């Protein structure tokens, strides 16, 4: 995928999440039960980056922790909702651009959590952001990344839709410039508006390659209830 198409996708994600922010937040009040194990990796005093924080719901499982928490997201409206929901961290929720950099110093965090974010990134952009996460995490810091398993039974129809496959082959409409692993999944708000969210179909192996190449050492990877690919990793000492 070329850079122009990548920028188009990232811009659409930003405007789309702003447009759908209220329904998105209302349908995501609680943290996923399958991923609550994440709290076992967070200690009191941790300086933690919630990368792609949305409405801040990661904090639901960290309420009893004393943290230096920072949440970043490309959607300004989701950031505003997060500030309203968790006013004690309002100053640490930040809107970021879709550019491949984060406004934090090297080795700033000792924990990074990114839940259901990287499957919205085209592969080259995902590679760039994996390197950026590696830059801002402290040596021996722990990062946990979860990505939708789009090959699971109730999601794979989005990959093998014959009409969509033909549009990709012949570069038709919104699918022009897409490869086999690039798909759009619609999300509808309460006003009936539809936001077709970009997703990249990653396998566990392809994700491991991205984060290994970025400078991480893989501690563990697994499927959580078949729904999510989970990678737990440390930054290699340099």
Tokens of 45: 């005093």
Residue 59 lies in a domain: yes
Dist. CA 37–CA 223, nearest whole Å: 13
Rounded-to-integer distance, Cα 194 and Cα 173, Å: 16
Please determine, for residue 210, whether its predicted confidence score (pLDDT) is greater than 70: yes
Q: Decide if 85 is inside a domain.
A: yes
135: containing domain: 3-153+198-235
Q: What is the pLDDT of residue 238?
A: 57
Collapsing DSSP to helix, strand or coil, 108 comes out as coil
**Which of 135, 124, 140, 147 lies closest to 233, judged by CA?**
140
Q: What is the pLDDT at residue 155?
A: 85
pLDDT at 107: 97
Domains in the chain, number: 1
69 located within any domain = yes
Confidence of residue 15 (pLDDT cuts 50, 70, 90): confident
Q: Is residue 191 part of a domain?
A: no
CA-closest candidate to residue 130, choices 235, 53, 13: 235
Domain-embedded: residue 96: yes
pLDDT tens-digit map of 90-131 = 999 999 986 678 999 999 999 999 999 999 999 999 999 999
Q: What mean pLDDT is predicted for residues 44-48? A: 97
pLDDT for position 237: 61
Evaluate whether 197 touches 187 at the Cβ level (below 8 Å).
Answer: yes
User: What is the pLDDT of the chain when averaged over all its residues?
Assistant: 91
Tell me, yes or no, whether 166 lies in a domain. no
Q: Each residue of 148-196: pLDDT tens digit?
A: 999 988 888 888 989 989 999 999 999 999 999 999 998 877 677 788 9
> Higher-confidence residue: 32 or 111?
111
Tokens at 107, concatenated: 């080795």
Would you state the pLDDT for residue 23?
63
- 71 beta partners: 50, 93
Give domain status of residue 190, yes or no: no
CATH for 98: 3.40.50.150
Q: Is residue 24 over pLDDT 90?
A: no
In 3-state terms, what secondary structure has residue 222? strand
Answer whether residue 103 is part of any domain. Answer: yes
Contact between 201 and 118 under an 8 Å Cβ cutoff? The reply is no
């Amino acid at each position: 995928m070329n850079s122009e198409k990548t920028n188009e996708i990232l811009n659409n994600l930003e405007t789309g999440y702003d447009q759908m922010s209220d329904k998105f937040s209302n349908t995501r009040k609680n943290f996923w039960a399958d991923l609550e194990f994440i709290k076992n990796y967070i200690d009191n005093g941790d300086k933690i980056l919630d990368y792609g924080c949305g409405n801040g719901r990661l904090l639901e499982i960290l309420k009893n922790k004393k943290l230096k928490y920072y949440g970043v997201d490309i959607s300004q409206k989701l950031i505003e909702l997060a500030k309203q929901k968790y006013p004690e961290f309002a100053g640490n929720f930040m809107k970021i651009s879709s550019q491949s950099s984060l406004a934090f110093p090297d080795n700033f965090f000792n924990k990074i959590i990114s839940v259901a974010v990287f499957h919205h990134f085209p592969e080259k952009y995902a590679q760039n952001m994996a390197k950026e996460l590696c830059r801002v995490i402290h040596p021996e810091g722990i990062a946990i990344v979860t990505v939708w398993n789009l090959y699971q039974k109730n999601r794979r129809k989005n990959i093998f839709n014959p009409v969509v496959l033909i549009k990709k082959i012949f570069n038709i409409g919104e699918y022009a410039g897409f490869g086999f692993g690039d798909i759009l999944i619609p999300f509808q708000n309460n006003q009936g508006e539809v936001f077709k969210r970009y997703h990249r179909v990653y396998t566990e192996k392809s994700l491991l390659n991205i984060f290994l190449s970025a400078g991480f050492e893989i501690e563990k990877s697994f499927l959580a209830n078949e729904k999510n690919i989970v990678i737990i990793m440390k930054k290699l000492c340099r």
